Structure 1
Amino acid sequence: MHALALLAASVTVIGAIMVITRKVAVHAVLYLVVTLLALAALLVMLGASFAAMLEIIIYAGAIMVLFVFVIMMLNLGQPDSAREKEWLRPRAWLGPGILAAISCAELFYFISPFSASLHSLAPITAHDVGLSLFGRYVLMVELASFLLLAGLVAAFHIGRNRVEDP
Protein backbone atom coordinates (compact mmCIF):
# COMPACT_ATOMS: atom_id res chain seq x y z
CA MET A 1 0.00 0.00 0.00
CA HIS A 2 2.88 2.36 0.68
CA ALA A 3 4.12 2.04 -2.90
CA LEU A 4 0.63 2.81 -4.23
CA ALA A 5 0.34 5.81 -1.95
CA LEU A 6 3.73 7.10 -3.07
CA LEU A 7 2.76 6.57 -6.71
CA ALA A 8 -0.51 8.47 -6.22
CA ALA A 9 1.29 11.24 -4.37
CA SER A 10 3.89 11.53 -7.13
CA VAL A 11 1.16 11.68 -9.79
CA THR A 12 -0.50 14.43 -7.74
CA VAL A 13 2.70 16.44 -7.45
CA ILE A 14 3.62 16.00 -11.13
CA GLY A 15 0.09 16.97 -12.18
CA ALA A 16 0.14 20.05 -9.94
CA ILE A 17 3.48 21.17 -11.36
CA MET A 18 2.14 20.70 -14.89
CA VAL A 19 -0.95 22.78 -14.01
CA ILE A 20 1.26 25.66 -12.99
CA THR A 21 3.66 25.48 -15.93
CA ARG A 22 1.22 25.09 -18.87
CA LYS A 23 0.71 28.11 -21.11
CA VAL A 24 -2.57 26.92 -22.64
CA ALA A 25 -5.42 27.07 -20.14
CA VAL A 26 -7.15 23.93 -21.44
CA HIS A 27 -3.96 21.90 -20.94
CA ALA A 28 -3.76 23.18 -17.37
CA VAL A 29 -7.38 22.12 -16.81
CA LEU A 30 -6.58 18.61 -18.10
CA TYR A 31 -3.69 18.30 -15.67
CA LEU A 32 -5.87 19.68 -12.87
CA VAL A 33 -8.43 16.93 -13.50
CA VAL A 34 -5.63 14.35 -13.32
CA THR A 35 -4.40 15.89 -10.07
CA LEU A 36 -7.89 15.73 -8.58
CA LEU A 37 -8.25 12.07 -9.64
CA ALA A 38 -4.94 11.22 -7.99
CA LEU A 39 -6.08 12.96 -4.81
CA ALA A 40 -9.25 10.88 -4.93
CA ALA A 41 -7.10 7.75 -5.17
CA LEU A 42 -5.20 8.87 -2.07
CA LEU A 43 -8.48 9.44 -0.24
CA VAL A 44 -9.64 5.92 -1.11
CA MET A 45 -6.37 4.53 0.22
CA LEU A 46 -6.97 6.39 3.49
CA GLY A 47 -10.43 4.84 3.81
CA ALA A 48 -12.38 7.97 2.88
CA SER A 49 -14.22 6.60 -0.13
CA PHE A 50 -17.14 9.00 0.35
CA ALA A 51 -14.79 11.98 0.32
CA ALA A 52 -13.10 10.52 -2.78
CA MET A 53 -16.44 10.29 -4.60
CA LEU A 54 -17.23 13.86 -3.60
CA GLU A 55 -13.81 14.88 -4.92
CA ILE A 56 -14.55 13.27 -8.28
CA ILE A 57 -18.16 14.42 -8.61
CA ILE A 58 -17.81 17.97 -7.33
CA TYR A 59 -14.27 19.03 -8.18
CA ALA A 60 -13.22 16.88 -11.12
CA GLY A 61 -16.75 17.12 -12.54
CA ALA A 62 -18.67 20.28 -11.71
CA ILE A 63 -15.85 22.71 -10.97
CA MET A 64 -13.89 21.65 -14.06
CA VAL A 65 -17.00 22.19 -16.21
CA LEU A 66 -17.17 25.68 -14.72
CA PHE A 67 -13.50 26.29 -15.57
CA VAL A 68 -13.99 25.11 -19.15
CA PHE A 69 -17.07 27.36 -19.42
CA VAL A 70 -15.04 30.36 -18.24
CA ILE A 71 -12.24 29.53 -20.71
CA MET A 72 -14.79 29.33 -23.54
CA MET A 73 -16.46 32.55 -22.36
CA LEU A 74 -13.18 34.47 -22.35
CA ASN A 75 -12.24 33.18 -25.83
CA LEU A 76 -8.66 34.41 -25.75
CA GLY A 77 -8.62 35.74 -29.30
CA GLN A 78 -7.34 32.73 -31.21
CA PRO A 79 -9.45 31.51 -34.10
CA ASP A 80 -11.45 28.42 -33.20
CA SER A 81 -9.87 26.14 -35.80
CA ALA A 82 -6.30 26.98 -34.74
CA ARG A 83 -7.14 26.49 -31.07
CA GLU A 84 -8.85 23.15 -31.71
CA LYS A 85 -5.88 21.89 -33.75
CA GLU A 86 -3.57 22.70 -30.84
CA TRP A 87 -5.87 20.94 -28.36
CA LEU A 88 -5.99 17.78 -30.48
CA ARG A 89 -2.24 17.30 -30.77
CA PRO A 90 -1.03 14.15 -28.99
CA ARG A 91 1.50 16.28 -27.14
CA ALA A 92 -1.42 18.05 -25.41
CA TRP A 93 -3.27 15.00 -24.14
CA LEU A 94 -0.54 12.37 -23.86
CA GLY A 95 0.80 13.59 -20.49
CA PRO A 96 -2.59 13.86 -18.77
CA GLY A 97 -3.64 10.56 -20.34
CA ILE A 98 -0.63 8.69 -18.93
CA LEU A 99 -1.01 10.22 -15.47
CA ALA A 100 -4.77 9.51 -15.45
CA ALA A 101 -4.15 5.90 -16.53
CA ILE A 102 -1.70 5.45 -13.65
CA SER A 103 -4.21 6.93 -11.17
CA CYS A 104 -7.09 4.82 -12.47
CA ALA A 105 -4.99 1.63 -12.50
CA GLU A 106 -3.92 2.05 -8.90
CA LEU A 107 -7.46 2.97 -7.87
CA PHE A 108 -8.88 -0.14 -9.54
CA TYR A 109 -6.15 -2.29 -7.99
CA PHE A 110 -6.79 -0.86 -4.55
CA ILE A 111 -10.55 -1.44 -4.64
CA SER A 112 -10.26 -4.88 -6.22
CA PRO A 113 -10.97 -7.99 -4.15
CA PHE A 114 -7.29 -8.94 -4.44
CA SER A 115 -6.27 -6.03 -2.21
CA ALA A 116 -6.65 -6.93 1.46
CA SER A 117 -5.48 -3.54 2.72
CA LEU A 118 -8.83 -1.90 1.99
CA HIS A 119 -10.67 -4.11 4.44
CA SER A 120 -8.33 -3.27 7.33
CA LEU A 121 -9.29 0.43 7.29
CA ALA A 122 -12.31 1.81 9.10
CA PRO A 123 -14.58 3.50 6.55
CA ILE A 124 -15.44 7.19 6.82
CA THR A 125 -19.17 7.59 6.29
CA ALA A 126 -21.21 10.47 4.91
CA HIS A 127 -22.31 11.23 8.45
CA ASP A 128 -18.69 11.70 9.54
CA VAL A 129 -17.98 14.02 6.61
CA GLY A 130 -21.14 16.05 7.31
CA LEU A 131 -20.24 16.43 10.98
CA SER A 132 -16.76 17.64 10.06
CA LEU A 133 -17.83 20.03 7.30
CA PHE A 134 -20.77 21.56 9.12
CA GLY A 135 -19.35 21.27 12.61
CA ARG A 136 -15.95 22.71 13.33
CA TYR A 137 -15.11 23.51 9.67
CA VAL A 138 -18.32 25.36 8.76
CA LEU A 139 -16.52 28.73 8.56
CA MET A 140 -13.94 27.33 6.11
CA VAL A 141 -16.69 25.81 3.93
CA GLU A 142 -18.52 29.14 3.78
CA LEU A 143 -15.31 31.06 3.03
CA ALA A 144 -14.52 28.66 0.18
CA SER A 145 -18.01 29.18 -1.27
CA PHE A 146 -17.53 32.96 -1.15
CA LEU A 147 -14.16 32.57 -2.87
CA LEU A 148 -15.75 30.51 -5.67
CA LEU A 149 -18.54 33.07 -6.02
CA ALA A 150 -16.01 35.92 -6.25
CA GLY A 151 -14.09 34.03 -8.95
CA LEU A 152 -17.25 33.46 -10.96
CA VAL A 153 -18.27 37.13 -10.74
CA ALA A 154 -14.75 38.25 -11.71
CA ALA A 155 -14.68 35.87 -14.71
CA PHE A 156 -18.07 37.13 -15.85
CA HIS A 157 -16.93 40.74 -15.47
CA ILE A 158 -13.73 40.13 -17.44
CA GLY A 159 -15.60 38.32 -20.20
CA ARG A 160 -18.37 40.91 -20.44
CA ASN A 161 -16.14 43.99 -20.69
CA ARG A 162 -13.79 42.60 -23.30
CA VAL A 163 -13.25 44.96 -26.21
CA GLU A 164 -13.40 43.29 -29.61
CA ASP A 165 -10.63 44.18 -32.06
CA PRO A 166 -11.88 44.88 -35.63
Structure 2
Amino acid sequence: MEQTIFYILAGVAVIGTILAITEKHPVHAILYLVTSLFSIAVIFYLLMAPLVAAFEVILYAGAIMVLFLFVIMMLDLGHPEKGIAPRWRQWLPALALAGVSIASLAAVIVSRHGAAAAAPAPALPIREVARHLFQDHGLAVELVSLQLLFALVGALYLGRQDSPSPGLRPPSPPGRGVGDEGNPS
Protein backbone atom coordinates (compact mmCIF):
# COMPACT_ATOMS: atom_id res chain seq x y z
CA MET A 1 0.00 0.00 0.00
CA GLU A 2 2.75 2.46 0.92
CA GLN A 3 4.64 1.71 -2.27
CA THR A 4 1.53 2.49 -4.33
CA ILE A 5 1.04 5.77 -2.46
CA PHE A 6 4.72 6.55 -2.99
CA TYR A 7 4.39 6.15 -6.76
CA ILE A 8 1.16 8.16 -6.87
CA LEU A 9 2.77 11.02 -4.93
CA ALA A 10 5.89 10.84 -7.08
CA GLY A 11 3.64 11.21 -10.13
CA VAL A 12 1.85 14.15 -8.53
CA ALA A 13 5.21 15.79 -7.77
CA VAL A 14 6.45 15.32 -11.34
CA ILE A 15 3.19 16.52 -12.92
CA GLY A 16 2.99 19.48 -10.54
CA THR A 17 6.55 20.46 -11.39
CA ILE A 18 5.92 20.17 -15.14
CA LEU A 19 2.79 22.31 -14.79
CA ALA A 20 4.75 24.85 -12.72
CA ILE A 21 7.36 25.11 -15.47
CA THR A 22 4.89 25.37 -18.36
CA GLU A 23 2.28 27.62 -16.72
CA LYS A 24 2.15 31.17 -18.11
CA HIS A 25 0.45 32.73 -15.09
CA PRO A 26 3.15 33.10 -12.38
CA VAL A 27 0.80 32.82 -9.41
CA HIS A 28 -0.65 29.58 -10.77
CA ALA A 29 2.88 28.29 -11.38
CA ILE A 30 3.73 28.90 -7.73
CA LEU A 31 0.60 27.04 -6.63
CA TYR A 32 1.56 24.06 -8.80
CA LEU A 33 5.04 24.12 -7.29
CA VAL A 34 3.59 24.22 -3.77
CA THR A 35 1.48 21.17 -4.65
CA SER A 36 4.63 19.41 -5.83
CA LEU A 37 6.49 20.35 -2.65
CA PHE A 38 3.66 19.07 -0.44
CA SER A 39 3.73 15.78 -2.33
CA ILE A 40 7.46 15.51 -1.71
CA ALA A 41 6.88 16.25 1.98
CA VAL A 42 4.42 13.35 2.22
CA ILE A 43 6.98 11.14 0.46
CA PHE A 44 9.54 12.09 3.11
CA TYR A 45 6.98 11.22 5.78
CA LEU A 46 6.46 7.84 4.10
CA LEU A 47 10.20 7.27 4.23
CA MET A 48 10.16 7.70 8.03
CA ALA A 49 11.66 11.19 7.94
CA PRO A 50 9.02 13.41 9.58
CA LEU A 51 11.52 16.16 10.45
CA VAL A 52 12.59 16.48 6.82
CA ALA A 53 8.91 16.50 5.81
CA ALA A 54 8.25 19.31 8.28
CA PHE A 55 11.26 21.25 6.97
CA GLU A 56 9.97 20.76 3.42
CA VAL A 57 6.60 22.23 4.31
CA ILE A 58 7.85 25.02 6.56
CA LEU A 59 10.89 26.15 4.58
CA TYR A 60 10.14 25.43 0.95
CA ALA A 61 6.36 25.35 0.61
CA GLY A 62 5.98 27.99 3.29
CA ALA A 63 8.73 30.56 3.46
CA ILE A 64 10.33 30.44 0.03
CA MET A 65 7.06 30.18 -1.90
CA VAL A 66 5.64 33.10 0.10
CA LEU A 67 8.78 35.05 -0.82
CA PHE A 68 8.30 34.22 -4.52
CA LEU A 69 4.63 35.16 -4.31
CA PHE A 70 5.54 38.43 -2.58
CA VAL A 71 8.06 39.30 -5.30
CA ILE A 72 5.59 38.47 -8.07
CA MET A 73 2.93 40.61 -6.46
CA MET A 74 5.41 43.45 -5.89
CA LEU A 75 6.42 43.34 -9.53
CA ASP A 76 2.73 43.22 -10.52
CA LEU A 77 3.15 40.12 -12.69
CA GLY A 78 0.12 38.33 -11.29
CA HIS A 79 -2.37 39.11 -14.05
CA PRO A 80 -0.91 38.82 -17.56
CA GLU A 81 -4.30 38.28 -19.22
CA LYS A 82 -6.52 40.78 -17.43
CA GLY A 83 -10.11 40.77 -18.54
CA ILE A 84 -10.31 37.10 -19.48
CA ALA A 85 -12.93 35.31 -17.43
CA PRO A 86 -11.58 32.21 -15.68
CA ARG A 87 -12.92 28.95 -17.04
CA TRP A 88 -13.59 25.88 -14.94
CA ARG A 89 -11.27 23.80 -17.10
CA GLN A 90 -8.30 25.89 -16.02
CA TRP A 91 -8.76 24.57 -12.49
CA LEU A 92 -8.93 20.89 -13.39
CA PRO A 93 -5.19 20.10 -13.19
CA ALA A 94 -4.81 21.86 -9.85
CA LEU A 95 -7.93 20.25 -8.41
CA ALA A 96 -6.89 16.80 -9.63
CA LEU A 97 -3.38 17.12 -8.17
CA ALA A 98 -4.71 18.47 -4.88
CA GLY A 99 -7.31 15.71 -4.67
CA VAL A 100 -4.75 12.97 -5.29
CA SER A 101 -2.35 14.51 -2.75
CA ILE A 102 -5.03 14.80 -0.07
CA ALA A 103 -6.32 11.28 -0.72
CA SER A 104 -2.78 9.89 -0.53
CA LEU A 105 -2.08 11.73 2.71
CA ALA A 106 -5.32 10.42 4.20
CA ALA A 107 -4.41 6.88 3.11
CA VAL A 108 -0.97 7.19 4.72
CA ILE A 109 -2.46 8.43 7.98
CA VAL A 110 -5.11 5.69 8.04
CA SER A 111 -2.61 2.93 7.19
CA ARG A 112 -0.11 4.14 9.81
CA HIS A 113 -2.76 4.48 12.50
CA GLY A 114 -3.76 0.81 12.50
CA ALA A 115 -0.36 -0.71 11.71
CA ALA A 116 2.22 -1.76 14.25
CA ALA A 117 4.82 0.88 14.84
CA ALA A 118 8.13 0.35 13.12
CA ALA A 119 11.31 0.45 15.11
CA PRO A 120 12.13 4.10 15.60
CA ALA A 121 15.22 5.45 13.97
CA PRO A 122 17.92 6.62 16.34
CA ALA A 123 17.04 10.11 17.49
CA LEU A 124 19.40 12.86 16.44
CA PRO A 125 19.07 16.04 18.48
CA ILE A 126 18.37 19.19 16.51
CA ARG A 127 21.47 20.77 18.04
CA GLU A 128 23.56 18.00 16.46
CA VAL A 129 21.92 18.60 13.08
CA ALA A 130 22.55 22.35 13.34
CA ARG A 131 26.16 21.85 14.40
CA HIS A 132 26.78 19.46 11.51
CA LEU A 133 25.06 21.78 9.06
CA PHE A 134 26.85 24.97 10.05
CA GLN A 135 30.27 23.58 11.00
CA ASP A 136 30.73 21.13 8.16
CA HIS A 137 28.68 22.91 5.50
CA GLY A 138 28.69 26.52 6.70
CA LEU A 139 30.07 27.88 3.44
CA ALA A 140 27.38 26.10 1.43
CA VAL A 141 24.64 27.51 3.67
CA GLU A 142 26.01 31.02 3.26
CA LEU A 143 26.32 30.61 -0.52
CA VAL A 144 22.71 29.45 -0.79
CA SER A 145 21.52 32.40 1.28
CA LEU A 146 23.51 34.77 -0.95
CA GLN A 147 22.02 33.17 -4.07
CA LEU A 148 18.51 33.71 -2.72
CA LEU A 149 19.35 37.33 -1.90
CA PHE A 150 20.83 37.93 -5.38
CA ALA A 151 17.78 36.33 -7.01
CA LEU A 152 15.45 38.59 -5.05
CA VAL A 153 17.43 41.76 -5.79
CA GLY A 154 17.82 40.79 -9.46
CA ALA A 155 14.09 40.13 -9.84
CA LEU A 156 13.28 43.48 -8.26
CA TYR A 157 15.82 45.27 -10.48
CA LEU A 158 14.61 43.63 -13.69
CA GLY A 159 10.99 44.23 -12.82
CA ARG A 160 11.48 47.90 -11.97
CA GLN A 161 13.58 48.84 -15.03
CA ASP A 162 10.70 49.08 -17.48
CA SER A 163 8.04 50.65 -15.26
CA PRO A 164 8.94 53.36 -12.76
CA SER A 165 6.92 53.46 -9.57
CA PRO A 166 3.86 55.74 -9.65
CA GLY A 167 5.14 57.80 -6.70
CA LEU A 168 8.58 58.53 -8.18
CA ARG A 169 9.40 61.37 -10.55
CA PRO A 170 10.93 60.49 -13.90
CA PRO A 171 14.69 61.03 -14.05
CA SER A 172 15.77 64.57 -14.86
CA PRO A 173 17.41 65.22 -18.23
CA PRO A 174 21.22 65.41 -18.32
CA GLY A 175 22.72 68.71 -17.22
CA ARG A 176 20.02 69.51 -14.70
CA GLY A 177 20.60 68.77 -11.07
CA VAL A 178 18.17 68.22 -8.28
CA GLY A 179 16.85 71.50 -6.94
CA ASP A 180 17.25 73.69 -10.05
CA GLU A 181 13.78 73.02 -11.50
CA GLY A 182 12.80 76.68 -11.44
CA ASN A 183 16.19 78.22 -12.34
CA PRO A 184 16.95 78.21 -16.06
CA SER A 185 20.70 78.27 -16.52
C-alpha distance in 1, partners of 2:153/2:114? 46
The size of the alignment, in residue pairs, is: 161
Q: 1:140 is matched with which residue? A: 140
Does the CA-based 8 Å contact 2:25-2:78 persist in structure 1? no
The aligned amino acid for 1:21 is T
Does the CA-based 8 Å contact 2:26-2:78 persist in structure 1? no
Q: 2:115 is matched with which residue? A: 116
Does the CA-based 8 Å contact 2:13-2:35 persist in structure 1? yes
Structure 2 gaps of 5+ residues are 165-185
1:61 lines up with 2:59 in the alignment: no
Among all aligned residue pairs of Structure 1 and Structure 2, give the percentage whose two residues are the same amino acid. Answer: 43
Q: 1:49 is matched with which residue? A: 50
More helix as a share of residues: 1
C-alpha distance in 2, partners of 1:24/1:47? 35
Instruction: Using the TM superposition, give the Cα deviation of residue 133 of structure 1 relative to its aligned residue in structure 2, in angstroms.
Output: 2.9
C-alpha distance in 2, partners of 1:99/1:124? 34
Q: 1:32 is matched with which residue? A: 33
- TM (normalized to structure 2)? 0.73
Does the CA-based 8 Å contact 2:12-2:101 persist in structure 1? yes
Structure 1 gaps of 5+ residues are none
Q: Secondary structure at the match of 2:83?
A: helix
Q: Which is greater in Rg?
A: 2
C-alpha distance in 2, partners of 1:148/1:42? 26
Q: State the Cα RMSD in Å.
A: 2.7
C-alpha distance in 2, partners of 1:22/1:124? 41
